[in-house]
């Protein structure tokens, strides 16, 4: 049975990934979340879909390095993990971060520091086992700072920078690191964008591409794939042109 | 605010659409944003799921399974679960939803609120007949359970109650044992309504599923194809690959018009007339033939379409159906999606449930404005005269008189209504 651990498992994209994994075959799954009731609803749902899977839940403070280290230690007792997916995040509006530094701070912590701490904790386990795929959800927003979401985007840029370093570290080993950069996806996190009538990618579709990228160990995944050329252009636009764009 | 349509695409008005993703948030969201109406996959055709300028609660995020007992076949799930996901999860374990409509792309909540029926109505009744209990949250934040044996009146108001008694969060459904995903099917052509009714009587006992396609323009007195099926045991036959195509754009005018319709119907009848005999068919193409054509409703062009579904009592079903078909043929309107089926004797649970003993006719009409509405009014007159009614899940335009004559139990519903539940349809037909 494959052993999979998902941090931020109740996020819409992570939940769809979990559904794909349990559908393919019975798995040993650890669901890590913040809200006990939501994570339990998710566990029950996956158990109905896959009665032969073994599913555990964990809840903890996502900003507590000691709790994160302890989680990794507990997990290691059952043997090496095959897949770790780090998927949590939140997206307050850029204006709220500008007006309230505590919102800016929590945005940076939850989208930047916290995923890195989880990744570092599980990278240690993967290194010892010389086995496993570590997948981290970044964002296209991390590719270039823009006025619409630069606080969130800079946290995601931190994740991207970290993932690149981790890939370098594991280059000569059997550990793989996958950085996922979704475009705006129809999830609860983007409710405001959806209210503005933006047509967003479906979480099921994004999840299917993530599962595939994890299977192949693709270093960087833009999903949906149209974001790869879009972000290539945005990253390479000269500054004097870029700052005039309303993106 | 976002623009939201129903399946008929007659309009796309702005709504304050709020996505629910956890049952624990439902009470708070309802209190904050009522009045409104629940919106699942938007597969009802008219205005039953719309609330222009007001709130919609999107339910598709409430899509968790809660329990499934493989011994008894009892399934508990949230109301936003899609019927397709139930079928794909339970069929490999030998269980199936007893009743599904002609598409499996509807939510459990929508199936209950519209008390949907399927090709096997004469054997299994409506969706509501298989619901054991419901959990409902009202817009004041209160919660209550109901079922056939618990607050049965409230249950009868909710099943088929077009979402007006509260927000369904969870349902307990009794599934049925099935041998697998395969059906033995047979297509038999008929040249007129007498032959249709004879086939229908003959098939009622030996066939679980039956439905007919009917040519609403050519062929005089109602020629068509009678399709029937039974689930069968087939050993180790691999399931077919799932393929789907999509209608990628909305064409500038309806692809369905008098010329294309006559040609299509004549060809479809001729091809299938000679393909008689028994076949083995997978349940998905047999029960849900249009599900593989994504966004097929776009083919009617930018003005959308009306679907008209009526049921008329047994007594003079032959004559009434003939009169309706003549009226439609004379108008030159209609579509190749025309369906005829006889319902069984079972009366449904819901106060506003649609099925009743008799024959039901369902047709699409590309929206040509006044001309189409006038035709539908003429059809209403025939249905009303015969003591029949129009399916609320399909309707966008019937008059209050037509509603009240077709649904005499509507006053009973009022005492169970949640005052914070309101839709374009409830305001049109019930006044609030």
Per-residue pLDDT reduced to its tens digit, B347-362: 899 999 999 999 999 9
CB A127 within 8 A of CB A112: no
The sign of the torsion formed by the CA atoms of A183, A187, A189, A193 equals positive
- Length of chain B, in residues: 432
**Would you say residue A148 lies in a domain?**
yes
Mean pLDDT of the region B61-75: 97
Residue in chain B lying closest to A15 (CA): B64
Shortest alpha-carbon distance between residue A51 and chain B (Å): 10
Shortest alpha-carbon distance between residue B22 and chain A (Å): 7
- Residue span(s) of chain B under CATH 3.30.465.10 come to 65-178
Statement: residue B222 has pLDDT above 90: no
Interface test with B, best of A48, A188, A189 (most B CBs within 10 A): A48
CATH topology for the B65-178 domain: 3.30.465
Residue in chain A lying closest to B89 (CA): A49
Q: Does B68 reach chain A within 8 Å, measured CB to CB?
A: yes
Percent of chain B with pLDDT strictly greater than 70: 99
The radius of gyration of chain A from alpha carbons, rounded to an integer in Å, stands at: 18
**Cβ partners under 8 Å of residue B271, min gap 6:** none
Q: Does B64 reach chain A within 8 Å, measured CB to CB?
A: yes
Q: Do A41 and B23 touch (CB under 8 A)?
A: yes
The partner residue sitting opposite B67, judged by closest CB among A38, A48, A191, is: A48
Q: Specify the higher pLDDT residue, B216 or B320.
A: B320
Q: Do B70 and A51 touch (CB under 8 A)?
A: yes
Tell me the C-alpha to C-alpha distance, in Å, between residue A132 and each of B115, B182, B301, B312, B316: 49, 41, 51, 64, 71
Residue-level pLDDT at B273: 81
**Would you say residue A52 lies in a domain?**
yes
Interface test with A, best of B26, B61, B62 (most A CBs within 10 A): B61
Which residues in chain A have Cβ-Cβ distances shorter than 8 Å to B17?
194-195
The single-letter DSSP state of residue B297 is G
Residue-level pLDDT at B347: 87
What phi and psi, each to the nearest 5 degrees, are found at residue B312? -125, 145
Give the whole-angstrom CA distance, residue B45 versus residue B304. Answer: 10
**Would you say residue A247 lies in a domain?**
no
Statement: residue B30 has pLDDT above 60: yes
The partner residue sitting opposite B65, judged by closest CB among A12, A49, A196, is: A49
Q: Do B67 and A41 touch (CB under 8 A)?
A: no
The single-letter DSSP state of residue B432 is -
Shortest alpha-carbon distance between residue B64 and chain A (Å): 5
Which residues in chain B have Cβ-Cβ distances shorter than 8 Å to A49?
65, 89
Q: Does B12 reach chain A within 8 Å, measured CB to CB?
A: no
Q: Do B16 and A42 touch (CB under 8 A)?
A: no
Q: Does B21 reach chain A within 8 Å, measured CB to CB?
A: yes
* Cα distance between the two ends of chain B: 22
Give the tokens for residue B136.
């409902």
Shortest alpha-carbon distance between residue B55 and chain A (Å): 12
**Cβ partners under 8 Å of residue B86, min gap 6:** B75, B77, B97, B108
Which of B353, B344, B394 is CA-nearest to residue B155?
B353
Strands A133-137 and A83-86, bridge-based pairing: parallel
Q: Does B234 reach chain A within 8 Å, measured CB to CB?
A: no
The partner residue sitting opposite B3, judged by closest CB among A44, A188, A197, is: A197
Mean pLDDT of the region B296-301: 91
Q: Do A191 and B19 touch (CB under 8 A)?
A: yes
Interface test with B, best of A12, A36, A41 (most B CBs within 10 A): A41
**Cβ partners under 8 Å of residue B244, min gap 6:** B291, B292, B293, B294
Residue-level pLDDT at B220: 55
Residue-level pLDDT at A245: 85
What confidence tens digit (pLDDT) does each residue in A134-188 have?
A: 999 999 999 999 999 999 999 999 999 999 999 999 999 999 999 999 998 888 8
Which residues in chain B have Cβ-Cβ distances shorter than 8 Å to A37?
22, 24
Residue in chain A lying closest to B64 (CA): A45
Q: E-strand spans in chain A?
A: 2-7, 27-33, 54-59, 83-86, 133-137, 176-182, 185-186, 201-202, 220-223
**Would you say residue A41 lies in a domain?**
yes
**Cβ partners under 8 Å of residue B122, min gap 6:** B204, B210, B342, B343, B344, B345
Helix (H) or strand (E) holding B368: none
Q: Do A44 and B66 touch (CB under 8 A)?
A: yes
CB A110 within 8 A of CB A88: yes
Residue-level pLDDT at B73: 98
Say how many domains are in chain A. Answer: 1
Q: Does B244 reach chain A within 8 Å, measured CB to CB?
A: no
Domain that holds residue A175: 2-242
Q: Does B264 reach chain A within 8 Å, measured CB to CB?
A: no
Q: Do B66 and A37 touch (CB under 8 A)?
A: no
Q: E-strand spans in A64-197?
A: 83-86, 133-137, 176-182, 185-186
- Tell me how crowded residue B244 is: count the other CB atoms within 10 A of its CB: 8
Tell me the C-alpha to C-alpha distance, in Å, between residue A56 and each of A53, A126, B24: 10, 20, 21
Shortest alpha-carbon distance between residue A213 and chain B (Å): 23
Which residues in chain A have Cβ-Cβ distances shorter than 8 Å to B68?
48
Which residues in chain A have Cβ-Cβ distances shorter than 8 Å to B18?
191
Shortest alpha-carbon distance between residue A43 and chain B (Å): 9
Over the range A174-191, which residues count as b (16 or more CB within 10 Å of their CB) and which as e? ebbbbbbbbbbbbbbbbe
- What residues in chain A have per-residue pLDDT under 70? none
Strands B13-19 and B2-4, bridge-based pairing: antiparallel
What confidence tens digit (pLDDT) does each residue in B86-129 have?
A: 999 999 999 999 999 999 999 999 999 999 999 999 999 999 99
Mean pLDDT of the region B312-320: 93
Shortest alpha-carbon distance between residue A177 and chain B (Å): 30
Which of B21, B24, B28 is CA-nearest to residue B62?
B21
Give the whole-angstrom CA distance, residue B234 versus residue B24. Answer: 43
Task: Indicate which CATH number applies to the domain containing A15.
Answer: 3.40.50.720
B46, with CB counted inside 10 A (0-12, 13-18, 19+), is: buried
* ipTM of this predicted structure: 0.90
Mean pLDDT of the region B193-209: 95
Q: Where are the alpha helices (DSSP H) in B91-145?
A: 108-113, 121-124
What phi and psi, each to the nearest 5 degrees, are found at residue B340? -130, 135
Sheet holding B167-174, edge to edge: B65-68, B74-78, B167-174, B131-137, B143-146
A206, with CB counted inside 10 A (0-12, 13-18, 19+), is: buried
Q: Does domain B182-398 have CATH number 3.30.70.2520?
A: yes
Which residues in chain B have Cβ-Cβ distances shorter than 8 Å to A191?
18-19
Query: How confident is residue B213, by pLDDT bands cut at 50, 70 and 90?
Result: very high
Helix (H) or strand (E) holding B145: strand B143-146
* pTM of the predicted protein model: 0.93
Tell me the C-alpha to C-alpha distance, in Å, between residue B267 and each of B8, B193, B224: 26, 20, 12
Shortest alpha-carbon distance between residue B40 and chain A (Å): 15
Residue-level pLDDT at B50: 98
Strands B74-78 and B176-177, bridge-based pairing: unpaired
Which residues in chain A have Cβ-Cβ distances shorter than 8 Å to B3?
197
Q: Does B32 reach chain A within 8 Å, measured CB to CB?
A: no
Give the whole-angstrom CA distance, residue B218 versus residue B328. Answer: 11
Partner residues linked to A223 by β-bridges: A182
């Amino acid at each position: 049975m494959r052993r999979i651990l998902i941090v931020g498992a109740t996020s819409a994209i992570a939940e769809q990934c979990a559904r794909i994994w349990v559908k393919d075959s019975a798995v040993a799954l650890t669901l890590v979340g913040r809200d006990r009731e939501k994570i339990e609803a998710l566990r029950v749902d996956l158990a109905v879909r896959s009665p032969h899977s073994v599913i555990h839940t964990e809840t903890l403070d996502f900003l507590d390095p000691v709790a994160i280290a302890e989680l990794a230690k507990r997990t290691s007792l059952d043997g090496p993990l095959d897949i770790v997916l780090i998927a949590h995040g939140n997206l307050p509006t850029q204006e709220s971060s500008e007006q309230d530094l505590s919102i800016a701070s929590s945005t940076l912590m939850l989208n930047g520091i916290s995923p890195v701490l989880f990744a570092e904790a599980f990278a240690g386990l993967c290194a010892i086992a010389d086995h496993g795929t570590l997948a981290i959800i970044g964002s296209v927003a991390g590719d270039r700072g823009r006025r619409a979401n630069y606080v969130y985007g800079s946290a995601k840029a931190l994740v991207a920078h970290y993932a690149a370093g981790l890939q370098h570290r594991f280059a000569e080993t059997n550990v793989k690191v996958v950085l996922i950069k979704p475009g705006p996806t129809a999830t609860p996190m983007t409710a405001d964008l959806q209210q503005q009538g933006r047509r967003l990618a479906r979480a099921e579709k994004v999840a299917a591409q993530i599962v595939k990228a994890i299977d192949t160990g693709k270093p960087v995944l833009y999903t949906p794939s149209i974001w790869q050329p879009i972000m290539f252009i945005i990253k390479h636009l000269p500054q004097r042109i870029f700052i005039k764009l309303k993106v | 605010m976002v623009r939201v349509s129903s399946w008929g695409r007659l309009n796309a008005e702005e709504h304050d659409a709020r996505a629910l993703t956890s049952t624990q948030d439902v009470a708070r969201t309802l209190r904050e944003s009522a009045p409104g109406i629940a919106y699942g996959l938007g597969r009802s055709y008219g205005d039953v799921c719309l609330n222009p300028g007001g709130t919609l609660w999107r339910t598709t995020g409430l899509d968790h399974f809660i329990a499934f007992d493989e011994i008894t076949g009892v399934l508990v799930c949230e109301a936003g679960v899609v019927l397709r996901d139930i079928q794909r999860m339970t069929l490999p374990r030998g269980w199936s939803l007893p009743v599904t409509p002609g598409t499996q792309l509807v939510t459990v909540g929508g199936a209950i609120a519209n008390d949907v029926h399927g090709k096997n109505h004469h054997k299994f009744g409506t969706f509501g007949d298989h619901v054991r209990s419901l959990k409902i949250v009202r817009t004041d934040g209160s919660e209550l359970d109901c079922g056939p044996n618990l607050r049965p009146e409230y249950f009868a108001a909710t099943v088929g109650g077009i979402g007006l008694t509260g927000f369904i969060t969870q349902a307990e459904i009794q599934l049925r044992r099935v041998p697998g995903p395969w059906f033995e099917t047979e297509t038999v052509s008929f040249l007129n309504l007498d032959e249709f009714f004879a086939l229908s009587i003959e098939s009622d006992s030996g066939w679980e599923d039956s439905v007919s396609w009917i040519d609403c323009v050519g062929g005089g007195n109602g020629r068509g194809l009678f399709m029937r099926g039974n689930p069968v045991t087939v050993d180790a036959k691999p399931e077919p690959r799932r393929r789907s195509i999509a209608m990628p754009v909305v064409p500038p005018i309806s692809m369905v018009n008098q010329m294309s319709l006559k040609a299509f119907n004549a060809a479809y009848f001729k091809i299938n007339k000679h393909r008689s005999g028994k076949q083995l068919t997978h349940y998905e193409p047999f029960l849900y033939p249009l599900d593989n054509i994504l966004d097929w409703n776009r083919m009617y062009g930018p003005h959308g379409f009306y679907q008209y579904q009526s049921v008329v009592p047994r007594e003079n079903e032959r004559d009434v159906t003939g009169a309706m078909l003549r009226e439609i043929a004379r108008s030159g309107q209609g579509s190749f999606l025309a369906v005829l089926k006889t319902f069984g004797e079972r009366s449904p649970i819901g106060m506003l449930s649609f099925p009743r003993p008799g024959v039901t006719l369902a047709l699409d009409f590309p929206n040509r404005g006044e001309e189409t509405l006038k035709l539908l009014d003429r059809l209403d007159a025939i249905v009303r005269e015969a003591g029949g009614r129009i399916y609320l899940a399909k309707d966008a335009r019937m008059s209050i008189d037509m509603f009240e004559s077709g649904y005499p139990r509507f006053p009973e519903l009022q005492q169970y209504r949640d005052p914070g539940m309101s839709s374009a349809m409830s305001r049109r037909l019930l006044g609030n």
